[in-house]
Amino acid sequence: MALLQVDDIHTYYGAIHALKGISIHVDKGEIVTLIGANGAGKSTTLNTICGVVHPRHGTITLEGEEIHRLPAHEIVMRGVAQAPEGRRVFGRLTVAENLEMGAFTRKDKEGIKRDLERVYALFPRLKERQKQLAGTLSGGEQQMLAIGRALMANPRLLLLDEPSMGLAPILVDLIFDTIKEINAQGTTVLLVEQNALMALSIAHRAYVLETGNIVLSGTGKELLNNPEVMKAYLGVE
């Protein structure tokens, strides 16, 4: 059974039909990436999985359990955490408080402590800045915090929405290395990216989204070598 199974979901914003029947699945231990142009519906897909918006049709199951009718905070308790587009860290909370919020639903003090150490080991920069207000961090540090905060939920499935957005190339490399490391430590990742080259090269499998529909899917390698993908998303003629 797939860890996450998304089946023919349709999501609307008022009259706007943003997702027109999306079906994807993510298996345990994978990195799966979702690429597509601006406005294709990538963030909407992640937000539908997280319960920030709800699908009008279709089902989403997590290890067989339906989650698409649950409010966002209950989906987190079932082990899905997201580092949202644009980071959305709490600027007036300190770094440590942001991480504490990431573990909001948890009661296992020992586990929280262990995960805090895990996050600080992944991002030593955050440890140095524990007491600093998140709003005063640099863009790259805020992205680290957003990922770290999501990890604090100790998720079975980690959703990342454009983690490389607006970062200098050296930081992009760091973030992608860290995603691989997080995955190697056993966390399943669903990654949305504009940077298709990087995303496809670390992903086990990938989907291409166009105006609310999945138009292509395959392994990362297959899509990297697909002429259409090359032309549309990798800028190769």
Partner 1 sequence: MLQNLRRRLSATTVVMWIIGLLLLAMVFWGSFQTLVSGKYSGRVWLDLIVFGIAQGSVYALIALGYTMVYGILRMINFAHGEVFMSGAYMGYFVATALENRGTLDSNLLLSLVLIVLGAVVTSVTIAVLLERIAYRPLRRAPRLVPLITAIGASFFLQYTFRGFFGSGVKGYPEAEGLKGTITLFGLQLLKTQVLVIVAAIILLIALYTFVQRTKTGKAMRAVSEDKDAAALMGINVDRIIVTTFIVGGSLAGAAGVLYSMLFRQVYFLTGFIPGLKAFTAAVLGGIGNIAGATMGGLFLGVAESLFPNLVLDGLGIPAPYQLKDALAFLLLVLVLIFRPTGILGERLATKKA
Ligand X SMILES: Nc1ncnc2c1ncn2[C@@H]1O[C@H](COP(=O)(O)OP(=O)(O)OP(=O)(O)O)[C@@H](O)[C@H]1O
Q: What is the DSSP pairing of strand 57-62 with strand 157-161? A: unpaired
Dist. CA 5–CA 67, nearest whole Å = 10
Distance, CA of 214 to CA of 84 (rounded, Å)? 21
**What x/- string results for residues 84 through 103 when contact with partner 1 is judged by CB under 8 A?**
x---xxxxxx---x--xxx-
Our finding on whether 171 is near ligand X (CB under 6 A) is no
> Any contact of residue 77 with partner 1 (CB under 8 A)?
yes
Residue with tokens 């939920």: 153
Using CB under 8 A as the binding rule, whether residue 13 contacts partner 1 is answered as no
Q: Which among 18-26, 130-138, 206-214, 216-224 is the span making contact with partner 1, rule CB under 8 A?
A: 130-138
Could you say which of 1, 16, 110, 131 contacts ligand X (CB under 6 A)? Answer: 16
What binding mask, one character per residue, do residues 63-92 give for Mg ion by CB under 5 A, x or -? ----------------------x-------
Residue window 173-202: x/- pattern of binding to Mg ion, with contact defined by CB under 5 A: ------------------------------
From the list 227, 228, 170, 229, the residue with the least C-alpha distance to 200 is 229
Q: Is there a contact between 120 and 169 (Cβ–Cβ < 8 Å)? A: no
3-state secondary structure (DSSP) of residue 101: helix
Residue 110 interacting with ligand X (CB under 6 A): no
CA distance 60 to 4: 7
